[in-house]
Amino acid sequence: MITLAIETSCDDTAAAVLNDDKILSNVVSSQIEGLSFGGIVPELASRSHMTQLLPVVQNALEKAEINKRELDLVAVTHAPGLIGSLLVGVNFAKAMAFGLHIPVIGVHHIEAHMLAAFIESPQLTFPFIALIVSGGHTQLTLAKALGEYQILGETADDAAGECYDKVARILNLSSDGNSIMAGPVIDKLAQMGNPDFFSFPRPMIKSNDFHFSFSGLKTAVLNFVQKENRTFSEQEISDICASFQEAVSDVLSEKTIRACRNLGISNVVLCGGVAANSRLRSVLKEKCRSFQIELSIPSPKYCTDNAAMIGITGYKKYSAGSRSNWGLGAISSLTIEKAVI
């Protein structure tokens, strides 16, 4: 089965082509250039999708060496996300599928982040615990079966990715005009820094639940910077990044392991944009190894927003009997627990 997948839920325009669960091509056209971190303007994002989507889809088909007449299914992100951006993708997908006389299937973006693990770990089995860390979500989810998910805990305030973006602004790192994503910039600087430079708080690390809170950590970085009230050297900036990153990685990994142990689950998936973070990957890997927990982490290109994850999710759900109809619409807010179509 040849699937064309489309992702336009935020500011990346992405398309992928799959043969069953094998990725033939995966194209991402990155964000609107020149904005500082966190600077997504929804209206501009939708307009950008409108101009980028057709060339991105054509590029994905060419790279996969697939003619559109060979397609069997169109999978598209229909929730959650920026409503205007979602609408561009959903309507494009429906029109294309209708014109080609093939089915369309709507995919939940967060479910897709989670199922991206199957791209490179086809042996992964349910049940597993997923730590989903993206720009808008920080969730510990118990995946019982395909389409059967239970949120164990989530953030009470900022998402982990949002916290990265805000700390980058506090540290004035947004002058790096190459990216509007703060995570990779902090990640790179932190690799040259000392994680013991300053001990930032580990919010809710000891709390007897699976919830998170990152706004206090962001404030702790702000307070530290304001209290010092001076210009930091490049090394000190790297040290602050490393110390901050250590706190984030500690909390996320500690709670994930606790959830596994409390529920007796021995499979973990780390996913979402922040799962591309080198320190979080290695801390969680180390902890999982010591508790004999099997860990699956997608390659960074399948962690940040991409259409390959939409394709594999659409393919799996369609194969399991899920169907969307032509009334498929865009939904800006939808919990993963309702990701069943």
Interacting residues toward ligand KG4 by CB under 6 A: 10, 134-136, 161, 164-165, 181-184, 187, 272-274, 276-277, 304-305
Rule CB under 5 A: say whether 134 interacts with Zn ion.
yes
Query: What is d(CA 59, CA 26) in angstroms, rounded to the nearest whole number?
Result: 9
Query: What is d(CA 279, CA 187) in angstroms, rounded to the nearest whole number?
Result: 8
267 binds, among ligand KG4, Zn ion, none (CB under 5 to 8 A by kind): none
User: Which residue's CB is nearer to ligand KG4, number 3 or number 77?
Assistant: 77
Strand order of the β-sheet with 2-7 is 22-29, 13-19, 2-7, 73-79, 104-108
Q: Are 93 and 102 in contact (CB under 8 A)?
A: no
Applying CB under 5 A, the span of 51-59, 129-137, 221-229, 275-283 interacting with Zn ion comes to 129-137
- # binding residues, Zn ion (CB under 5 A): 2
Q: How far is the CB of 204 from ligand KG4 (least distance, A)?
A: 19
Query: What is d(CA 110, CA 335) in angstroms, rounded to the nearest whole number?
Result: 9
User: Which residue's CB is nearer to ligand KG4, number 30 or number 91?
Assistant: 30
Rule CB under 5 A: say whether 162 interacts with Zn ion.
no
Applying CB under 5 A, the span of 52-60, 180-188, 276-284, 303-311 interacting with Zn ion comes to 303-311
User: Which residue's CB is nearer to ligand KG4, number 97 or number 247?
Assistant: 247
Query: What is d(CA 127, CA 142) in angstroms, rounded to the nearest whole number?
Result: 7
Q: Are 113 and 272 in contact (CB under 8 A)?
A: yes
Q: How far is the CB of 92 from ligand KG4 (least distance, A)?
A: 19
Query: What is d(CA 271, CA 129) in angstroms, rounded to the nearest whole number?
Result: 11
Q: Which of 238, 305, 307, 308 binds Zn ion (CB under 5 A)?
A: 305
Q: How far is the CB of 83 from Zn ion (least distance, A)?
A: 16
Strand partners, 132: 139, 271
Q: How far is CA 6 from CA 49, 52, 193, 276, 317, in A?
A: 11, 12, 38, 21, 15
3-state secondary structure of 7: strand
Rule CB under 5 A: say whether 306 interacts with Zn ion.
no
User: Which residue's CB is nearer to Zn ion, number 7 or number 246?
Assistant: 7
Please return the burial class of 291, using the count of CB atoms within 10 Å of its CB with bins 0-12, 13-18 and 19+: exposed
Rule CB under 5 A: say whether 77 interacts with Zn ion.
no
Rule CB under 5 A: say whether 139 interacts with Zn ion.
no
Q: How far is the CB of 52 from Zn ion (least distance, A)?
A: 17
Q: How far is the CB of 66 from ligand KG4 (least distance, A)?
A: 26
User: Which residue's CB is nearer to Zn ion, number 187 or number 305?
Assistant: 305
Categorise residue 292: left if φ over 0, alpha if ψ from -120 to 50, beta otherwise: left
User: Which residue's CB is nearer to Zn ion, number 71 or number 143?
Assistant: 143
Q: Which amino acid belongs to residue 63?
A: K
User: Which residue's CB is nearer to ligand KG4, number 256 or number 304?
Assistant: 304
Phi, psi (5° rounding) for residue 5? Answer: -115, 140
Rule CB under 5 A: say whether 296 interacts with Zn ion.
no
Q: Rule CB under 5 A: which residues touch Zn ion?
A: 134, 305
